[in-house]
């Protein structure tokens, strides 16, 4: 009898402790941890999107810096050849054409990079809400490529500057 009384007393004393410990475990369910993980994942995706845009801006501005000098050199060489001036600035027509082809290929690569960036935002569920800020940048790359194909390098450069501006605006929107 005494033994049953001690066991009953022990059960009554320990039951609130056990109930309390079970309640605490339930209150720290996995849901808050899961939402934190999802939020962290979302922030990581947005950070990666910002890095993609920043990388594209850096590459494009570096390209435009070189593009301006090359395009100006081609323009000057063509003008010298048209005027048939015999100076050291003049280039052989074959070299001018080689430079044009390389420049056009470079613009083609820039366009491909812009298309890849735009599609990565369009296809990523986390970044889709930011896609409207970036939409059209690939089209600017296509326009620049068409302008370069028509040997209108100055206008192609201006179009690529518009693409940089659009990328900068999209980067600001990703804050």
How far apart are alpha carbons 24 and 118 in whole angstroms? Answer: 47
Residue whose tokens read 């209108």: 152
Q: What is the pLDDT of residues 90-140, one digit of tens each?
A: 568 888 899 999 999 999 999 999 999 999 999 999 999 999 999 999 999
Q: What is the pLDDT of residues 39-60, one digit of tens each?
A: 898 999 999 999 999 999 999 9
Q: What is the pLDDT of residues 135-155, one digit of tens each?
A: 999 999 999 999 999 999 999
Question: What's the chain's Rg over C-alpha atoms?
Answer: 32
Please tell me whether the overall predicted TM-score, pTM, comes out greater than 0.75 for this model. Answer: no
Q: Nearest 5°: CA angle at 58, between 57 and 62?
A: 115
Residues 6+ apart with CB under 8 A from 50: 171, 174
């Amino acid at each position: 009898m005494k033994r049953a009384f001690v066991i009953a007393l022990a059960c009554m004393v320990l039951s609130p402790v056990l109930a309390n410990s079970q309640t605490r475990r339930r209150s720290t369910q996995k849901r808050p941890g899961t939402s934190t993980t999802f939020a962290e994942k979302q922030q990581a995706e947005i950070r990666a999107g910002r890095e993609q845009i920043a990388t594209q801006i850096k590459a494009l501005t570096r390209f435009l810096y070189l593009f301006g000098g090359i395009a100006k050199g081609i323009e000057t060489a063509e003008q010298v050849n048209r005027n048939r001036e015999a100076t050291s600035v003049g280039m052989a027509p074959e070299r001018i054409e080689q430079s044009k082809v390389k420049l056009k290929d470079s613009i083609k690569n820039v366009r491909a990079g812009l298309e890849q960036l735009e599609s990565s935002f369009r296809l990523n569920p986390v970044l889709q809400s930011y896609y409207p800020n970036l939409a059209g940048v690939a089209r600017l790359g296509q326009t620049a490529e068409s302008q370069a194909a028509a040997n209108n390098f100055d206008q192609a450069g201006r179009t690529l500057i518009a693409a940089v501006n659009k990328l900068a605006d999209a980067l600001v929107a990703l804050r």
